[in-house]
Amino acid sequence: MQDRENLSSRSAEGLGEVRVACPDITAACNFARAFTDLFRPRRGFLLEEWIRQAERTAPPPIKSFAGFLRQDLDAVLAGLTMDYSSGRVEGHVNRLKTLKRQMFNQAGLPLLRKRVLLA
């Protein structure tokens, strides 16, 4: 899902051939590009329209994805419109879980505590 401008000539050629051969892939590519065009610049106000259009005319996998987006629409809209992120917290949680997995059945809680505090 690179930007159209960043595709190599060979990739652009191959994509064109696949689009001509299969209309479902063309429709899926169009919906994926439209989603990327609203996701990258964080235009959350256009998401509901994209979901409505996808549920009406998209191929089944895209319809399913749109349905999942609709189920948690408030959270998705918050992620697309707000400047806040839980990325830093998720990184720390991932680091702690990795340490815990590495030490599984190796040592007790005191050593795990020391590794967490020293890391």
The pTM assigned to this predicted structure is 0.64
Give the mean model confidence (pLDDT) for residues 82-94.
86
For 27-40, the pLDDT digits (tens) are 988 999 899 888 88
- C-alpha dihedral over 9, 10, 12, 14, to 10 degrees? 160
Q: What are the domain boundaries of the chain?
A: 4-81, 87-118
Residue holding tokens 């089944």?
60
